[in-house]
Chains A and B, each alone.
Chain A
Amino acid sequence: MGGMLILRKLLRALLTLWIVVTLTFVVLRSSGDPAIVILGTDATPQMIAQFHHAWGLDRPLPVQYASYIAHILHGDFGDSFLDGRPALTVVAERLPNSLELASLGFVLMLAIGIPAGVFAALHRGRMLDRLVVTGAVLGHSVPSFFLAILLILLLSVRWHVLPSGGADSPSAIIMPAITIAAGGAGVIARFTRAAMLDALRQPFVRAMLARGMDWPRTIRAHVMPNAAIPTLTMIGFLLGGLVAGSIITETVFAWPGIGRLIITSVARRDLAVVQCIVLLIATTMVLANLTVDLLYVLLDPRMRGAAKEDR
């Protein structure tokens, strides 16, 4: 049964990716001619036709689409219009930077959000709870570019403790990571708090105490595992949006990741690179969702039953 379930989820994930690829293809091909952007406005029709021919853009759209899909299936994402290198190579150069930033941001997000939420729930209604909730609302309601600028103003311009951008020193990652983590940490804290409160209200909590279990153990062994289930969904959601969400942060901090790459590539109509990045982002989202679905089944035995009985 489990294998069947995974197979179904995988098929669904592939379907999602195919839809994304198709949509980006259609949108990008119908939103302006890359030849004009790359060759400049004073290019002769001849030059443009030549460019189109060289890149295969003069073929009918369905043919272009078919060949594009066929190439993708062979791991070939096309070449960059700008320097002729394979798009994948261009993206792969920047990817490690982005992954580094996103993982640090993600870890920070969890390390702040989960304990804060658990803590707030256990001190419900008291000062500390209100403090956490207020902080959480601030965290996810302050726009990331604003937080980024604020951090630069304070830590770089005024106190000179951290570099304002680039990736030249090891400490350069700190501010962008904080910026990425802030919003997610707020959401996770609030979600964890709500899930904990919900689990605390379950009759089994009182029953555990009635069986002689102490409060810390009841929380640790029963309340937290139950609260983890809904929290996980939210975390998966955030994980999926991490790479896409870092585009603005990377731009503000001049972080050499794929976030910045996609901005410049879109501006220059570098179709192959844009498509490659969009597909990459979509894949991370789909993978994150897939992981959550599978973890869900692992954490919640009722889901296993549901998968079995189709309800």
Chain B
Amino acid sequence: MSASAFTMPAARAVPPLLSVIGLTIRFHTPEGVVDAVSGVDLEVRPGEMLGLVGESGSGKSASCLAIMGLQDPRAEISGDLRFQGSAIQADAAGLRGRSIGMIFQEPRASLDPVRRIGSQLREVLALHRPDLDARAALAEAAGLLRRVGLPAPERQLAAYPHEISGGMAQRVAIALAIASGPKLLLADEPTTALDVTVQAQVLELLARLRDETGMAVVLVTHDLGIVAQYADRVVVMRRGRVVEQAPVHELFARPAHDYTRQLLAALPRSEAAAADHAPAPQLPQPLLRVDGLTRHFAQRRAMFRRPTAALRAVDGVSFTIAAGETLAVVGESGCGKSTIALMVAGLLGMTSGKIGFAGHDLGAMAPKQRRILRRELQIVLQDPGEALDPRLSVFTQVEEALLIHRIGGASAQRRETVVRTLAAVGLDSWVLDRRPHEISGGQRQRVSLARALVLQPRMLVLDEPTSALDVSIQAQVIELLGRLQRERNLAYLFISHDLRLVSRVADRVAVVYLGRIVETADTARLFAAPRHPYTQALLSAVPEPDPEQRGRARILLPGEPPSPAAIITGCRFRQRCAIARPVCAVEDPQLAAPPDGAGEQVACHVVQGRS
């Protein structure tokens, strides 16, 4: 499989900006020679946006670092790398940061934490623009921040990296990278650490800068949606090799390689998938009933200091879940969704509110009875690597759940139960004696699931259960969750930031913004006709993995979610809302069915018809 039929005759006339032929990155390890990247061919043409996709470990980041000459010092690089026709290896230091810029996944970590933003910008300007005097450099620094769309650039110059948000930090990193006017920008998963509405802003910025300056951009990502929306051409990598490269429309319409087809098939597409869900029948008695759930965190008080206002992480959230039903709680980081999960699972106390499970009020029960009931309400955490004890075998960890609750009978019987549960999540008995680091990420998440399922729960709280996994593994875990739900009539509280995923797994969705539910509706209804302006923006920000939908108008939300410690009068969303009315500044909207609704509930004055 190689670079064969991807060039069009017209394009061939333009000499490539960057050409990579036979790039191999080799490590000599005690276990032998390992090729992280082997024989990669690719080229980038002037002004194009090239999508470089692949799952973790596919070698996409390693290839970019090798182009920059920033590979691991132990790596052995071979191959012909040329920038504008001349060999890169001869002058990597001369090109780096001047003709080729790069930005990274963790934007804040790519800035020096002890230096002000302005000082870091001026430092880079001094390198590339020695002609500028101190005053001109300062003006240029502010100008760069303005170009990357930072509000109040003069003020941001005085800020330290920890004082700005991740999205702003990525803008600063972009400003630093374009300070020298590079011809090529390597963007290594630039939005993976960001929320979806912020991701949309940063990607739009990259596209705009490309159009304005004519620089080429290599967009390294694991997200095919991003590629579909922004790339001109796509290179697909797997296990250190290029498996396919093609113009974006062609790749999505006629994927040539099996792996590409697999990747595309694994993708949940919001609209098509949402149509599959019939609205869940409303059962008379929900399994879980959460009422006015609230959690305030007191800001820590030091000696001799007066206390500050409480941080309202969750502020009056109510919902129900029936047996066999999945309710997804979606929202951006810091909205309080994980706090909700922890409170429902009993791992975090609530400030006020009621949690009813199977007809009992958990708060009013005696601890011993509550413990028995808790057995039926289990939680699965986001990162199985962190949720499992690295020193204990899989068997010990799954069995432990039985031991804690003093159930499961004698040793032989417990072993049988563990083996049966592991089989139910698709794991053979060979994993029994393995430790977490000896099995894959997907297998680890299955073990986490088995640990919860071994107690025969009626409900699972799933806190971002697949966000630490690659797309293809994610699809398998989701399928498993679906099967388990049907077999055992499980109720799921599914916490996620990933709307595409949610559209596939949930029966109903609750959208959370700053500790409040702003909209809740059946999945199909929510995705087809979102009502709350925040839901609309959130859905619009998801890059659809279909290049034919590029023309779709996007709602770009201004700014980023304010801190939950901020006190906002009226509607919490109004400062970022395009349709806010005077009443929104005064009155806090309550969740209610709008007059023209079809079962959904929306906390918005405008939708509810008030002016």
Contact = CB atoms under 8 A, between A and B. Distances in A.
B104 A207 contact: yes
Interface in A216-259: 221-222, 225-226, 229
A206 interface: yes
Interface residues of A, number: 28
Interface stretch (A66-74, A142-150, A189-197, A298-306): A298-306
The B contact surface, by secondary structure, is loop
B104 A203 contact: yes
Given A222-B112, A226-B114, A11 B101 contact: no
B179 to A, nearest CB: 8
A202 B109 contact: yes
Contacts of A202: 109
A78 to B, nearest CB: 33
Nearest to A302: B162
B299 A309 contact: yes
Contact of B160 (A11, A204, A210, A301): A301
B101 A211 contact: yes
Contacts of A207: 102-104, 110-111, 173, 176
A161 to B, nearest CB: 45
Given A204-B109, A301-B160, A212 B114 contact: no
Contacts of B93: 214
A8 interface: yes
Nearest to B160: A301
Interface stretch (B216-224, B303-311, B479-487): B303-311
A204 B111 contact: yes
B70 interface: yes
A217 to B, nearest CB: 8
A209 B299 contact: no
Contact of B112 (A11, A204, A214): A204
A221 B115 CA distance: 10
B110 A204 contact: yes
Contacts of A226: 112-114
Given A202-B109, A203-B104, A211 B97 contact: yes
Interface string B106-134: 10011111111000000110011000000
Interface residues of B, number: 40
Interface string A164-206: 0000000000000000000000000000000000000011101
Nearest to B303: A8
B571 interface: no
B300 A212 contact: no
A138 interface: no
A310 interface: yes
A309 B298 CA distance: 12
A203 B302 contact: no
Nearest to A12: B303
A174 to B, nearest CB: 38
Nearest to B305: A310
A218 to B, nearest CB: 10
Nearest to A210: B102
Interface string B24-58: 00000000000000000000000000000000000
A211 B129 CA distance: 13
A197 to B, nearest CB: 14
Interface of A: 8, 11-12, 202-204, 206-214, 221-222, 225-226, 229, 299-302, 305, 309-311
9 closest pairs, A vs B, by CB? A212-B97, A207-B110, A203-B109, A210-B102, A301-B160, A211-B97, A222-B112, A310-B300, A302-B162
Interface of B: 65, 68, 70, 93, 96-98, 101-104, 106, 109-116, 123-124, 127-128, 160, 162-163, 173, 176-177, 179-180, 299-305, 308
Given A207-B102, A212-B98, A302-B160, 14 more contacts: A204-B112, A204-B113, A206-B70, A209-B96, A209-B97, A211-B124, A211-B176, A213-B123, A226-B112, A301-B114, A301-B116, A302-B113, A302-B162, A305-B163
